[in-house]
Amino acid sequence: MTDIEQPSLFDEEQKPRRAAKSDKKSAKRAPRKTAEPEPTPDAQNLDDGPLHRLMDENFLQYASYVIRDRAIPEIEDGLKPVQRRILYSLNQNDDGRFIKVANIVGYTMQFHPHGDASIADALVTLVNRGYLIEGQGNFGNIHTGDPAAASRYIECRLTDLAATQLFNDDLTEFIPSYDGRKKEPVVLPAKLPLLLMLGAEGIAVGLSTRILPHNFGELLKAQMDILQKKKFTLIPDFPQGGLIDAREYDEGRGRVRCRAIIEQKDEATLVIRELPYGVTTEAVISSIEDAAKKGKIKTKAIRDYTAGKVEIEVALGADADIQQAIQALYVFTQCEVSLSLRPIVIKDQRPVEMSVHDILRHNTKRLVELLRKELELERKKIDEALQAASLVRLFIVNRIYKRIEECKTAPEVRQAILEGLAPFRNQLRRDITAADLDMLLAIPIRRISLYDINKSRREEDDLLADFDAVEKNLTDVTGFTIKYLRSLLRDYADEWPRKTKVEAFDTIEVRELTAEAQTIYHDKEKYYLGTDIGGGEPIFQCSPYDKLVLVWNDCRYRVIPPPDKLFVDKNLVYAAIYDRDRVMTLVYQANGISHLKRFTFGGIIQNKDYFCAPESDPAKCLFFSDEQPDALYVKYTPRKGQQIHQQVFEPKTVTVRTPKTRGIQMTAKGIASITVQKPRNWDDKAGPKGALIK
């Protein structure tokens, strides 16, 4: 658990100008290298004037307000203020029937100092989550992203889960609303881990939070594991379903990868059945169309049949590879998304970063305390009921009411009752109060005349049994909490089964997937190279994510992305996919001497010229290959008096070095040709084996 370091936003006693003062002190302590002019009075007024201080103070207040009261949820009940006010308004007006959303928005505006649009949007989001508010009408579509109908046309009410688990006025602290006319709760006494059930996203001043929703039943089971001191794991669960890879979840502080569920309908058709979290059908279709335009996936048609469930058909080409098309959808479209997470909550009036497990532990601890307080309240109510039942029984059975017939004043009446009950003090739960006397005096004559002592005894016995049960639960609140969670699990968990499937996704290599997506052509007549040169011969296929290396006759080389059309002139001798570790064999001539070298390109900056021979000596490439020839057959240019006309060299005996090395000296003779295959006119007796001079 990590506190976010923003004390100036949340410490009311800290002066906003303290940092500025400390900066001035440090500036005074720092040695001055050169004399600086004193600030003018106008500059001093600009830095220390009332307008500057006003801006500082107001910005700090605004930042604090946005963080605490708008964007970041409270850990105690897991709600943002607007959500809490909506639920409280629904509870205050709940009569079991559906209520117009427009009316609830109006009720909520008594507590929420912002516009009705934010309230309506938050209410629609809560309805679509499904746990707390039940909707009737068009609340939009989480799959397509379609908005809800106007708030005057749709209705809502609290679910049974929310009505029974979120509210208890006896355990709620209230504060005045923004205009002082109403009372609103600081936090709701929610007995559910709402923050992890609903998830949360918010952007504040300098802070943002993202907490993913989890499965209701799994959260309750994890809470029981916490109480039983067992290990537990939590993996998000989304209302849209889909697939999730949570290997990097890191208790809600890492990231997850989410995928759509894609099925094969026939040999040329794929169907998208479920979407990743936060992605709509419109976004998926748009991303598929963009990928198709860029040639990353070949599609014939996209048909959207989504209604209650997602159904997007993607028709492929007749020669399409189904598995490769599925992988392309995951790589190049919104069928796969990666979500980075940061669980930040408000705790003790400050933003704090906590793991999902720590949040659930806090919720569980709070649940135990809430249940303890509810049991104590229940015990007090039963105790008061027993006191009242005992007083009524003694008052009627012992005919104490007869004593008040002769009393003439109210004090005499009260004294007569006290004196009549005094001998039975040992049968009462506590001393008699004025409220007890008022209750006895309010008993109607009809009840006294029809009083049934046996029924009264049975009611007292039932109350005593309830009291003993509450006392027993108070001695083991943890055990009672586990039973409570089991009852919730039994009553509600089946309504929200897990929808998102957990899988481990294999990493799709984009270069392998698109290895043959582009063809590089070389026009040897016009000296162009690229994927779209309108002619030439194909020399190799590559991925749009590959890099190409080009080598020219002067031993110059360059690494570039696959070009559409690039003029390479007539001196280009080599073009291929760049591989920094591939061993190259080069024979070049500089200053009349031929050298042989083997090297690897290594790391290279794109679109920058390099040389694979020493730049100090103008070089000419005689032979260049990315293969590993066993022998090089060299024929020399005929010269008068020359005795050796051909030689064989073995490149593999040369050590692999960097491109800047000079290489091994071969010969000072003029070279007519170099081949890796023995020429037909080669005379094995005509010359000795080539000697490489180091």
The catalytic site residues sit at 153
CA atoms of 306 and 285, how far apart (whole Å): 12
Q: In 3D, which of 67, 71, 78 has the Cα closest to residue 359? A: 78
User: Angle formed by the axes of helices 453-475 and 356-397, to 10°?
Assistant: 150
Instruction: Record the tokens describing residue 454, joined without a space.
Output: 């046996």
Asked if residues 214 and 236 have their Cβ atoms less than 8 Å apart, the reply is yes
Give how far the C-alpha of residue 323 lies from the chain's centroid of Cα atoms, to the nearest Å.
Answer: 28
Residue 133 phi, psi (nearest 5)? -125, 130
Q: Is 672 helix (H, G, I), strand (E, B) or coil?
A: strand
Strands (E), 437-547: 501-502, 518-523, 528-530, 537-542
With 0-12 CB in 10 A as exposed, 13-18 as middle and 19+ as buried, what is 258? Answer: buried
Instruction: Record the tokens describing residue 126, joined without a space.
Output: 């809560």
Q: In 3D, which of 628, 621, 679 has the Cα closest to residue 651? A: 628
Give how far the C-alpha of residue 105 lies from the chain's centroid of Cα atoms, to the nearest Å.
Answer: 29
Sign for the CA dihedral angle at 464, 469, 471, 472 comes to: positive
Task: Report the phi/psi class of residue 137: left, alpha or beta, with left for phi > 0 and alpha for psi in -120 to 50.
Answer: left
DSSP string for residues in 578-614: --TT-EEEEEEEETTEEEEEEEE--S--TT--EESS-
Q: Is 255 helix (H, G, I), strand (E, B) or coil?
A: strand
The CA dihedral of 543, 546, 549, 550, to the nearest 10 degrees, is: 40
CA atoms of 18 and 22, how far apart (whole Å): 6
CA atoms of 677 and 686, how far apart (whole Å): 17
422 secondary structure, DSSP code: G
CA atoms of 615 and 662, how far apart (whole Å): 10
Q: Buried (b) or exposed (e) across 109-129, using 16+ Cβ within 10 A?
A: ebbbeeeeeebbebbbbbbeb
Identify residue 58 by its one-letter amino acid code.
N
CA atoms of 515 and 478, how far apart (whole Å): 60
